[in-house]
Amino acid sequence: MADHSFRDRWEEVKPRVSAPKHKVALFSGCVQDFVYPEQMEACAKLLGDHGVAAEFPMDQSCCGLPLMMMGEKKTAQDVAIQNMRAFENTDCEYIITMCASCAAHLKHNYKKLVEKNPRLSAQANAFADKIIDFSSFANDVLGVEAGEFSGSGEKATYHAPCHLCRGLDVHEAPRQLIEKAGLEYVECNEEEVCCGFGGTFSMKFPELSSELLKKKLDNVEATGAGVLLTDCPGCIMQLRGGLKQRGSKVRVRHVAEALADAKKK
């Protein structure tokens, strides 16, 4: 756990924008709020640098996907309602999340969880329409350009989270951002194959998870890249743990962190 959660630091790191180009709200999910808040801070920095005003509703909680996967549908529904209420009074065009799993669940499953209630169903549809992953927002909405960054030219490869490439059908945005950040993107073999995390999958089926991770890391190290980038904190946890166990020097970071690092002063 981080010493200070993202929500505890929000007032310190929130973008101060007087004439915003866009208004967004941030959904952190559990891991980036309490384990990797630096990833959310990188997002907040990029938003501020591009004149985007942001809100962070404090009543938000876990997206509820782990509950859904364990068959706790009623509790998952309660969490969905809580999160929708947390965001209902925000003045935002988009709700950005940096976790691919959260994004897919918020966008696709909330509507199914409350579909039998007409009022909540309408709210869930409006909520889902605003959900966007970080890379799509930065690349496709903000349209960040290579000239904004002074990258190192270091070799970087990419792992595509399952919920991003299959759940949201996002493929090119993160790869384009890596190149715009001034890194030398080196494609990894089987880039869109699972890393073996899968939330509770890695705990319920450790042998299968371990085999998936081994194959993924073999492919990553074969690229000769010094940094591995991805768009999911769960994947980051899995990949960092595996590389640390190997004694590898490859660093694992979120795409947002790569952009924040490379931004020209």
> What angle, 0 to 180 degrees and rounded to 10, lies between the N-to-C axes of helices 206-222 and 233-246?
80
Q: What is the mean pLDDT of residues 54-60?
A: 97
DSSP states along 150-186: -----EEEE---HHHHTTS---HHHHHHHHHTT-EE-
Asked if the model's pLDDT at residue 202 lies above 90, the reply is no
The Cα 173–Cα 191 span in angstroms is 14
Asked if the model's pLDDT at residue 57 lies above 80, the reply is yes
The CA R_g of the chain, rounded to the nearest whole Å, is 18
Tokens representing 25 are 């709200």
The Cα 145–Cα 139 span in angstroms is 8
Residue 105 CA, distance from chain mean position: 12
The Cα 205–Cα 198 span in angstroms is 10
The Cα 57–Cα 244 span in angstroms is 35
pLDDT number for residue 5:
97
Residue pair 250/220 in contact by the 8 Å Cβ criterion? yes
Q: Which architecture, in CATH terms, is 146-262?
A: 3-Layer(aba) Sandwich (3.40)
Non-local CB neighbours of 83 within 8 Å, separated by 6+ positions: 27, 60, 61, 63, 64, 106, 110
Q: 6-139 domain in CATH 1.20.120.1200?
A: no
Gap between the terminal Cα atoms of the chain: 30
The Cα 112–Cα 64 span in angstroms is 13
Q: What is the mean pLDDT of residues 67-74?
A: 92
- Top mean pLDDT of 15-19, 36-40, 196-200, 209-213 is at 36-40
Domain-wise residue ranges, the chain: 6-139, 146-262
Q: What is the mean pLDDT of residues 37-47?
A: 96
Between the alpha carbon of residue 100 and those of residues 137, 218, 226, the distances in Å are 13, 23, 23
Residues of the chain with pLDDT > 70, as a percent, come to 100
Residue carrying the six token digits 């505890």: 8
pLDDT number for residue 248:
96
Please state, rounded to an integer, the average pLDDT across all residues of the chain. 94
Question: How do residues 105-150 score in pLDDT, each as one tens digit?
Answer: 999 999 999 999 999 999 999 999 999 999 999 999 999 999 999 8
Question: How do residues 180-199 score in pLDDT, each as one tens digit?
Answer: 999 999 999 999 999 988 77
